[in-house]
Chain A
């Protein structure tokens, strides 16, 4: 079942259409990537989901129901631009934001202690936010986002500003929250993290959906029939234009792409027959490549149109 359904949503600002008929379906319990270049309309869509702004047209369903105010208690939002009340104490701050999301004080305090311990911040509980390092502030923000156990978590660039060790810890927490049943919408430019954690993606470009689907499927659809070939005894691949073209060739290794109309298993059979083949890997495009390809293709289309 889809936890979020976005249908033909339009958002118009004065002189600029931020979203133009965008649709998206996020299955429950899924980590879903919302991708797109700067200014594509991601933040506009996220703000509509958070009910910070409203769509001018179209429909947004949360768990099958039209979005309404009470739903904000089921959503946790970590915006890209981070901020906290600098003069507040860490513990008070977390509890305040959780109570704004409808949590009772006692429950919020209890959960706050648990989370501070999980992130090794217990001794900082009574300190002011401004005394914390940037990384610790980011952790506090993360805690404030998830404390009320929302069923939908919206992370806008969650890893920015984290060092690799903390980023890994954060990733672990995000996966754990997913396992506990939360649906996670993940907006990012960091394609590496998309490949790591996202199951499905929607790529928005110029206010429209440019690409949508499961990450594996998207990759398969964008495959260029490239193979990485490994040969024994440092053998060197000879050209065979009717079967493949050679992109890179070194003794024992080569990257090839198949000629038109050639099936992969035929190519492998051909290689196996003529060379001491030890391994073949299909080279799927990275999300990074797909992102750039999709965005530049859109641009070219627009220029020719």
Chain B
């Protein structure tokens, strides 16, 4: 045990002590934060640039409809009168006017029938301006048309017809208590956890393989295994590198947490103010999905974080052990990392299949594919993460965990047999047949 601890500490420090590790670990969250912050910053800059009021001239030929354009902080409407062709009149006015005029809106006399107005300007009109004008005039024209039917209370009837459906999903727990859930939220949480496992296993698996190959090419391995058993070295490596991953993960969580809260204090308020139309759209989308902010918070509270965390850790360990020992075994069978692709391609293929199965399962988390893929140990760590927020039957969870760990231990045992032979053999290119022989040899 003392030797194992020593090897774990050594493997850990070999990676954590590297400058490149420190730089990458610190840099990645900043990159993420920067990527997240850029839109906020741009919105913020936009807002401060947009402080100027846009002056829009209105050439109203409809007689009164121009009043529907209500001025705001951003838009100021100047009614103008003109005779003759509206286009020439608009152009004349635009040319004569001071520079601050943005555009001229021409409301034709037959606007109630055609529902068509024209905006003239030297620059392309931006979408929000267009939408504002559209909204103001559209509502008024709709009201006028309604009034033209001459039916009592029609406006009220129409309002009644505007149904805004909202589907709240409420789940009963064992005690019959109600919990608000959210399908969308479950999906997001599941996918994020699945992606973390996927990324971690591949990234650190490759790291283990490189470390094994490096020791072998360095020839230091012969000295080390004359002091400890090869199995100890392999496990020391797997555990040490696993701890590196956890360290990196913890650092990122802290940095992202701190960075996120700082950012939300600085940025979020300004973002909300910056772009009212997107905020409106977002709220609209949310209410379409039957989800207002309160519901979202209730759903966040409705997830069983304890069980999710326990499961995440279990699948994380099981999946990592399974793939890491394979990477270690294959690393031991080659003389240089570039020769390893023939062995690693199947592993990476498995992982990619797992990821795609996970994505597919998100829309049907209790379908046959989801159930099968969450049982097969090579895909279960990723797929089960997607399924878990949707409440998987407990027997399936248990079976899947047992299968995963049974397979992980079996594969580790096989890997150790390959490893202890592989690390001492040089020169020849090995095939899967050779690896099989090493396993069988006593």
Residues of chain A at the chain B interface (Cβ within 8 Å): 14, 47, 50-53, 69, 72, 75, 77, 79, 81-88, 96-97, 99-102, 141, 144-145
Q: Known: A52-B424, A99-B6. Is A84-B218 also a contact (CB below 8 A)?
A: yes
Q: List 8 A-B contacts (CB under 8 A).
A: A51-B226, A53-B424, A69-B229, A85-B14, A85-B218, A87-B14, A100-B224, A145-B223
Q: Once the chains bind, are A72 and B226 in contact (CB under 8 Å)? A: yes
Q: Once the chains bind, are B227 and A88 in contact (CB under 8 Å)? A: no
What is the CA–CA distance of A51 and B229 in the complex, to the nearest angstrom? 8
Q: Once the chains bind, are B219 and A14 in contact (CB under 8 Å)? A: no
Q: Is B18 close to A, CB under 8 A? A: yes
Chain B residues whose CB sits within 8 angstroms of the CB of A77 once the complex forms: 222-223, 226
Question: When each residue 205-219 of chain B gets 1 if its CB lies under 8 Å from chain A and 0 otherwise, what string results?
Answer: 000000000010111
What is the CA–CA distance of A47 and B223 in the complex, to the nearest angstrom? 10
The 9 closest A-B pairs by CB, nearest first: A83-B219, A83-B218, A100-B227, A83-B220, A50-B226, A81-B219, A77-B226, A79-B222, A101-B227
Q: Once the chains bind, are A52 and B226 in contact (CB under 8 Å)? A: yes
Extra inter-chain contacts (10) besides given A79-B222, A100-B228, CB under 8 Å: A50-B226, A52-B225, A52-B226, A77-B223, A81-B219, A83-B221, A85-B218, A97-B223, A100-B224, A101-B227
What is the CA–CA distance of A81 and B427 in the complex, to the nearest angstrom? 14
Chain B residues whose CB sits within 8 angstroms of the CB of A51 once the complex forms: 226
Question: When each residue 223-263 of chain B gets 1 if its CB lies under 8 Å from chain A and 0 otherwise, what string results?
Answer: 11111110000000000000000000000000000000000
What is the CA–CA distance of A141 and B219 in the complex, to the nearest angstrom? 12
A176 to chain B, nearest CB (A): 22
Q: Is B171 close to A, CB under 8 A? A: no
Chain B residues whose CB sits within 8 angstroms of the CB of A97 once the complex forms: 223-224, 227
The DSSP consensus for interface residues of chain B is helix
What is the CA–CA distance of A84 and B223 in the complex, to the nearest angstrom? 9
Q: Once the chains bind, are B10 and A96 in contact (CB under 8 Å)? A: yes
B143 to chain A, nearest CB (A): 76
What is the CA–CA distance of A145 and B226 in the complex, to the nearest angstrom? 11
A169 to chain B, nearest CB (A): 21
Chain B residues whose CB sits within 8 angstroms of the CB of A87 once the complex forms: 14, 18
Q: Is B116 close to A, CB under 8 A? A: no
CB-CB nearest in chain A for B222? A79
Q: Once the chains bind, are A96 and B6 in contact (CB under 8 Å)? A: yes
A39 to chain B, nearest CB (A): 13
CB-CB nearest in chain A for B13? A92
What is the CA–CA distance of A77 and B224 in the complex, to the nearest angstrom? 10
What is the CA–CA distance of A144 and B18 in the complex, to the nearest angstrom? 23
What is the CA–CA distance of A99 and B2 in the complex, to the nearest angstrom? 9
CB-CB nearest in chain B for A75? B226
Q: Is B437 close to A, CB under 8 A? A: yes
What is the CA–CA distance of A51 and B10 in the complex, to the nearest angstrom? 22
B420 to chain A, nearest CB (A): 9
What is the CA–CA distance of A134 and B251 in the complex, to the nearest angstrom? 39
Q: Once the chains bind, are B227 and A72 in contact (CB under 8 Å)? A: yes
Chain B residues whose CB sits within 8 angstroms of the CB of A83 once the complex forms: 217-223
What is the CA–CA distance of A283 and B57 in the complex, to the nearest angstrom? 122
CB-CB nearest in chain A for B9? A96
What is the CA–CA distance of A97 and B221 in the complex, to the nearest angstrom? 11
Q: Known: A87-B14, A87-B18, A100-B3. Is A82-B227 also a contact (CB below 8 A)?
A: no
Q: Once the chains bind, are A14 and B424 in contact (CB under 8 Å)? A: no
A139 to chain B, nearest CB (A): 15
CB-CB nearest in chain A for B434? A14
Q: Is B175 close to A, CB under 8 A? A: no
What is the CA–CA distance of A144 and B227 in the complex, to the nearest angstrom? 12
Q: Once the chains bind, are A84 and B226 in contact (CB under 8 Å)? A: no
What is the CA–CA distance of A145 and B227 in the complex, to the nearest angstrom? 11
Chain B residues whose CB sits within 8 angstroms of the CB of A144 once the complex forms: 223
What is the CA–CA distance of A141 and B218 in the complex, to the nearest angstrom? 13
Chain A residues whose CB sits within 8 angstroms of the CB of B10 once the complex forms: 96
Which of A53, A82, A96 is within 8 Å of B219, CB to CB? Answer: A82
CB-CB nearest in chain A for B224? A100
Q: Is B98 close to A, CB under 8 A? A: no
Q: Is B441 close to A, CB under 8 A? A: yes
What is the CA–CA distance of A74 and B227 in the complex, to the nearest angstrom? 10
Chain B residues whose CB sits within 8 angstroms of the CB of A81 once the complex forms: 219, 222
CB-CB nearest in chain B for A88? B14
Chain A residues whose CB sits within 8 angstroms of the CB of B220 once the complex forms: 83-85
Chain B residues whose CB sits within 8 angstroms of the CB of A75 once the complex forms: 226
Q: Once the chains bind, are B225 and A100 in contact (CB under 8 Å)? A: no
- In B52-76, which residues have CB < 8 Å from any A CB? none
Chain A residues whose CB sits within 8 angstroms of the CB of B424 once the complex forms: 47, 52-53
Q: Once the chains bind, are B218 and A86 in contact (CB under 8 Å)? A: yes
